[in-house]
Structure 1
Amino acid sequence: MQIVLAPMEGVVDHLMREMLTQIGGYDLCITEFIRVVDQKLPARVFTRLCPELLQGGKTRAGTPVRVQLLGQEPHWLAENAARAVELGSPGVDLNFGCPAKAVNKSRGGAVLLKETETLYQIVKTVREAVPSNFPVSAKIRLGYEDTSLAIANAAAIAEAGASSLAIHARTKSDGYRPPAYWPWIAKIKQQVTIPIIANGEIWNAEQALLCQQQSDCTDIMLGRGALAMPNLAQHIRQGKPPLPWLAVLELLMRYSEFEIAGDKGKYYANRVKQWFSYLKLQYPEAQSLFSQLRLLTKSRDILTLLQQQLPSKP
């Protein structure tokens, strides 16, 4: 079984990747997307989003980090894919699953699931631009408004030369509403020969097993569940219990200290609030603390509040 950390825009940044891979259990991380329009982007764009490129394309724990690109122009995606690999990314991932309205409106992400031929041309052109020893993966949903093109889209991506395909088992219209339709992944898997990674609605070890059974996939990708339970990968692999709340608090403080050192200010405050929106699904303590935290706008104030939650030393 391979476990991949999903590319969650707006929360799984390099600091989150550092912490989650240090806890352990992940075989691969995918970055938040780099938006490609009509130019070859400078190196600093890649290293800002993926500073792991400066340390061999891996987190400090040794987990590979693959750069993800989002766009609609095959030529420019190929140019930037080649640059990502030159800069040290151990492969490239293509985003055909983002459901954000702003992204879809500019013809990026999940809206391309309406255009099977475009998917084929993008993957084919990127595959030809990237050396054959580097994987080119893609991530899709089951469709945009419905599942009518699910199999055709997956087949086009496979025929174009993709190395693997992650499938979020919902359409764009489904958003993140449960359930995830894992049996649909099994239908797709019967029609394509490349490795398939199942994604969607995996919050614990029992759901991971059910997903594997219903999707007929061994490999899984964890997104929101990994934020709700920071040791979810180990919970699935080794049956470890969820991290205790005190350990989660310590992770939150490490995150805030990193951000303060980088002087991220409001950026951090917004991201930690997003993290809390998932933590409170697993931890009652996060639910009660969030009512105080959501009013804060400075990272130092958030750190102070977190420190106040620690048990007093005798």
Structure 2
Amino acid sequence: MQIVLAPMEGVVDHLMRDMLTRVGGFDLCVTEFVRVVDQRLPSKVFYRLCPELHENGYTPSGTPVRVQLLGQHPQWLAENAERAVSLGSHGVDLNFGCPAKTVNKSKGGAVLLKEPEVLYRIAKAVREAVPAEQPVTAKMRLGFEDKSLALENAHALASAGVSSIAIHARTKTEGYRPPAYWDWIAKIKQHVDVPLVANGEIWRAEDARRCQQQSDCEDIMLGRGALAMPNLAQVIRGHQQPMPWDAVKALLVDYSGYEIYGDKGRYYPNRIKQWFGYLRLQYPQAETLFMHIRRLQHADEIVAALSEVGPSNHALNPTAAE
């Protein structure tokens, strides 16, 4: 089983990738998307979104990172894919799943699922530009407004030579509303000969098992579930029990340290509140603490509210599985 940390725009940046891969259980991270329009982007753009490139494309804990590209023009995407790999990205991922209206209006992300031939041209151009030993992967949804082109889109990507396809088991219109239609991934698997990665509505180990059974996929991708339970990947693997709340609080303090002494201190108050939005889905205690910190504007105030648990070493070594 391979477990991939999903790309989540505006949420899973390099600091969050570092934190979650230190907790462990992930085999690969995919970055927030690099928006490609009509030029070969300078290296600094890739380094900004993926600082791990300075370390041969690995997080500090040694998890490989793959740059994701989003755009509509095959040749520009191909040229930027070549650059990403030359800078140290472990392959390239193509975004055909982003549901954001602003992205879709400019013909990026999920809206391209209306045009299987465009998916094919993009994937083929990128595959030809990237060295054969480097994977070219894609992430897609089941469709834009409906699922009528799900099989055709997956077949287009497979025919173009992608190494694997991660499938978020909902359409753009369905957004993130439950349920995820994992059985559709199994249908797609019957028609393509590349590995598939199942994604969507995996919040607990039981969800992962049901997803694997219904999708007929061994490999899974975790997004919101990993933010709601930081050691979800380890729990799914059977290595740990769900992280206790005190350890989660300590992890939040660790995250504050990265932000304050790293390069994004001014973003910490908003980012930590954003994270609480996910934690409240798994930890009732998060709701009470969030009500306490929601009006705080300074990082040191928030850290003071979180630091009652003392040293944070145990946050990265939660209770082992019995």
Q: TM-score range by the shorter chain?
A: over 0.9
Alpha-carbon contact 2:96-2:140 (below 8 Å) kept: yes
Consecutive unaligned residues of structure 2, counting only runs of 5 or more, are: 312-322
Alpha-carbon contact 1:265-1:298 (below 8 Å) kept: no
Q: How much does 1:296 deviate?
A: 2.4
Q: How much does 1:144 deviate?
A: 0.4
Structure 2 residue matching 1:33: 3-state secondary structure: strand
Write the mapping of 1:11-22 to structure 2, written as runs, cut at 5 A: 11-22=11-22
Write the mapping of 1:63-78 to structure 2, written as runs, cut at 5 A: 63-78=63-78
| Alignment partner, residue 309 of structure 2 | 310
| Alignment partner, residue 235 of structure 1 | 235
Write the mapping of 1:13-162 to structure 2, written as runs, cut at 5 A: 13-162=13-162
Q: How much does 1:239 deviate?
A: 5.2
Structure 2 residue matching 1:169: 3-state secondary structure: strand
| Alignment partner, residue 316 of structure 2 | none
Q: How much does 1:123 deviate?
A: 0.3
TM-score in terms of structure 2 length: 0.94
TM-score in terms of structure 1 length: 0.96
Q: How much does 1:274 deviate?
A: 1.5
Q: How much does 1:305 deviate?
A: 2.0
* Structure 1 Cα separation of the partners of residues 148 and 178 of structure 2: 20
Structure 1 residue matching 2:277: 3-state secondary structure: helix
| Alignment partner, residue 272 of structure 2 | 272
* Structure 1 Cα separation of the partners of residues 65 and 274 of structure 2: 22
Percentage of pairs with the same residue: 70
Write the mapping of 1:236-275 to structure 2, written as runs, cut at 5 A: 236-238=236-238, 240-262=240-262, 264-275=264-275
CA deviations 1:163-220 (Å, max 9, x no partner) are: 0000000000001000000000000010000000000000111110000000000000
* Structure 1 Cα separation of the partners of residues 33 and 291 of structure 2: 30
* Structure 2 Cα separation of the partners of residues 263 and 222 of structure 1: 26
Write the mapping of 1:186-225 to structure 2, written as runs, cut at 5 A: 186-225=186-225
Alpha-carbon contact 1:116-1:152 (below 8 Å) kept: yes
Q: How much does 1:266 deviate?
A: 4.1
* Structure 1 Cα separation of the partners of residues 102 and 80 of structure 2: 22
Letter in 2 for 1:74: P
* Structure 1 Cα separation of the partners of residues 217 and 192 of structure 2: 13
Structure 1 residue matching 2:143: 3-state secondary structure: coil
* Structure 1 Cα separation of the partners of residues 106 and 64 of structure 2: 30
* Structure 2 Cα separation of the partners of residues 277 and 43 of structure 1: 33
Alpha-carbon contact 1:205-1:239 (below 8 Å) kept: no
* Structure 2 Cα separation of the partners of residues 272 and 108 of structure 1: 29
Structure 2 residue matching 1:281: 3-state secondary structure: coil
* Structure 2 Cα separation of the partners of residues 17 and 79 of structure 1: 26
Q: How much does 1:249 deviate?
A: 1.1
CA deviations 1:90-120 (Å, max 9, x no partner) are: 1000010001111111111111111111100
* Structure 2 Cα separation of the partners of residues 306 and 103 of structure 1: 36
Is 1:6 aligned to residue 9 of structure 2?
no
CA deviations 1:244-297 (Å, max 9, x no partner) are: 111111111111111111352442222211111111111111111111222223
Consecutive unaligned residues of structure 1, counting only runs of 5 or more, are: none
Alpha-carbon contact 1:26-1:233 (below 8 Å) kept: yes
Write the mapping of 1:165-176 to structure 2, written as runs, cut at 5 A: 165-176=165-176
Q: How much does 1:62 deviate?
A: 1.1
| Alignment partner, residue 315 of structure 2 | none
Letter in 1 for 2:287: Q
Structure 2 residue matching 1:76: 3-state secondary structure: helix
* Structure 1 Cα separation of the partners of residues 198 and 296 of structure 2: 37
> Cα RMSD over matched residues?
1.3
Alpha-carbon contact 2:250-2:310 (below 8 Å) kept: no
* Structure 2 Cα separation of the partners of residues 189 and 129 of structure 1: 26
* Structure 2 Cα separation of the partners of residues 58 and 262 of structure 1: 18
Alpha-carbon contact 1:163-1:194 (below 8 Å) kept: yes
* Structure 2 Cα separation of the partners of residues 54 and 172 of structure 1: 34
